[in-house]
Structure 1
Amino acid sequence: MDRHLAIIGGSGLYQIDGMEEAAWRSVESPFGTPSDEILTGRLGAVRLSFLPRHGRGHVHSPTDVPYRANIDALKRIGVTDVVSVSACGSFREEMAPGDFVIVDPFIDRTFAREKSFFGSGCVAHVSLAEPVCPELSTTARAAAEAAGVRVHDCGTYLAMEGPQFSTLAESRMYRAWGCDVIGMTNMPEAKLAREAELCYASVAMITDYDSWHPEHGAVEITQIIETLKGNAEAARSMVTGIARALSEKPSCEAGCDRALEHAVMTAPEKRDPQVAAKLDAVAGRVLQ
């Protein structure tokens, strides 16, 4: 199967050098309307798509991002690999603003979001012991380094509900838990990508030290925006490098595309036909 890379991220990634046949495409999903149209095209030998997580103009708050519709829509257009690029705060002195962190484990502290495609009528339980694709994460790391960015491995991502930033007490607590970065959008995105049998990797672009750092104090939006602008060029270069690497790898060997192999628990004769119909893109491979 040809690799089809999708980037979920912000406005700095709209323009990828060398992207051909680029066009915005509307994709319908039974799980609602995606955040925006999807920019689709080609980058060398790889199909490339870009989905603005918050919509162009930043119209969706972290809680209101239509995560299920986004992942379902990407699956419907044939995406095989998803790289999340997002702004994050850092809990570690050595993970400084401007650095990139390749996220591995997650701690999900969100509470107001739909977190699964499955439910009553068709129940499934996927493993999230290793929530990201190791091959895609390694590829993203190499591409980020080649772009001249200082990169850190295996960062634990604390997903908070938002939209407010952490209190000082929360920031200190998450740091004590052993978390490395904090953000508002990778959950339930990573969970849904696993249910959709997509390779998923997350790249955290550090913009600030959250509120724990005694010399930096409260998070400033102006600081975040300035750091993001500085990271945008490196992020675009990273995307180009990921696409180039995927063109040389016809498939992923980590098993992400078989995540639902033994996950669906509801017996075929007990499945709700309407629920199963909504799952045609996400789980059609195992429900047919």
Structure 2
Amino acid sequence: MLAFIGGTGLTRMDDLEIRHRHDIETRYGKPSAPVAEGELNGVPVLFLARHGDPHVWLPHQVNYRANMQALKDAGATAIVAVNAVGGITAPAGALVLPEQIIDYTWGRDSTLFDDPNDPLVHVDFSWPFDPVLRRRLRGALERAGLQWVDGGCYAATQGPRLETAAEILRLERDGCDIVGMTGMPEAVLARELGIPYAMLSLVVNPAAGKASREITMAEIEAVLHTGMSDVRTVLATLAAG
């Protein structure tokens, strides 16, 4: 079953007809919120609010392992994660379908294989996002008739503070195009669980040093409102096949 993870601006999917809420306890603890199972335009899907419902968990506080395990336990066979991000090379308002990721986070539980009683497993992570799922997302974006950016690199930073202008310059030199705080370890945990995973990112503001003036929260919220409406359209189109 196709699953969606909603980030900032997508705590709920208003067009999802919820049939059941899975209140799952995993070996890693409880997920951020119950996993909602329902129908999106008649198609069965799962939904999980990454930061809780209401939004309570900061990026470094999210129990990513419990979230991903709960989705698997609820029957997820593919996961599309939605992120609100800052734009390094991508403009505000853009939808981005990243192809690569660089992890700058620290101190997070980043693997399912840290039990000394279990065998050690190294997963190949050369291409972090599933190519088949990315192709399906490309098709949905094209059918929805939206402007979007295919490819690019997502920088996963620790948060919850935003980055300095110097840090953004460093990320740009490293080849990053967008910056967020939730892409890792989420992406690698999906790989460890064997679940195809792809990311759809909405650029809500220029990254630090990339604008000629200070960006207000009102401007960010306006982009979130419009952009997440487009994201909902894409997800519904994707679910419909």
User: TM-score with structure 1 length normalisation?
Assistant: 0.78
Match of residue 221, structure 2, among 208, 214, 225: 225
1:31-83 CA distances to partner (integer Å, 9 max, x unpaired)? 11100011111235642011000001210000010000000000001100100
CA distance in 1, matches of 2:211, 2:13: 37
**For the Cα contact (< 8 Å) 1:67–1:189, is it kept in 2?**
yes
**1:22 Cα deviation after fit:** 3.1
Give, in whole Å, the separation in 2 of the partners of 1:237 and 1:214.
29
1:205 aligns with 2:192: no
Looking at structure 1, the residues matched to 211 and 73 of structure 2 have their Cα atoms a distance apart, in angstroms, of 47
Could you report, residue by residue, the CA deviation over 1:69-110 in whole angstroms, capped at 9, with x for unpaired residues? Answer: 000000001100100001001111xx2211100011110000
Give 1 or 2 for the bigger CA radius of gyration.
1
**2:217 maps to amino acid:** I
8 A contact 1:89–1:206 mirrored in 2: yes
Gap runs ≥5 in structure 2:
none
Q: Give the alignment partner of residue 238 of structure 1, picking from 227, 234, 237.
A: 234
- Please give the TM-score of this superposition, normalised by the length of structure 2: 0.93
2: CA distance, partners of 1:32 / 1:51 = 15
Aligned match of 1:103: 98
Does 2:129 correspond to 1:132? Answer: yes
Do the aligned residues in 1 keep the contact of 2:11 with 2:54 (CA within 8 Å)? no
Aligned partners of 1:35 and 1:195: how far apart in 2? 20
Equivalent residues of 1:16, 1:236 under 8 A apart: no
Shift in Å, 1:165: 0.4
Provide the aligned C-alpha RMSD in A. 1.7
Would you say 1:113 and 2:102 are equivalent positions? no
Amino acid at match of 2:85: C
| 1:103–1:202 contact (8 Å) kept in structure 2 | yes
What is the distance in 2 between the residues matched to 1:16 and 1:241? 15
Determine if the alignment matches structure 1 residue 152 to structure 2 residue 149: yes
Q: Which residue type is aligned with residue 101 of structure 1?
A: V
AA at the equivalent of 2:182: T
SS at match of 1:12: coil
Taking the aligned partners of 2:211 and 2:43, their CA distance within structure 1 comes to 45
Q: 1:77 matched to which residue of 2? A: 74
5 Å matches for 1:164-203? 164-203=161-200
1: CA distance, partners of 2:91 / 2:62: 27
Any conservation in 2 of the 1:144–1:234 contact (CA below 8 Å)? no
Do the aligned residues in 1 keep the contact of 2:125 with 2:188 (CA within 8 Å)? yes
> Which 4+ runs in 1 deviate beyond 6 A?
none
> Which residue identity is paired with 1:108?
D
Unaligned runs of 5+ in 1: 246-288
1:43 aligned residue: 40
Matches for 1:7-26 after TM superposition, within 5 Å:
7-10=4-7, 11-12=9-10, 14-17=12-15, 19-26=16-23
Q: Note the C-alpha offset of 1:13.
A: 6.0
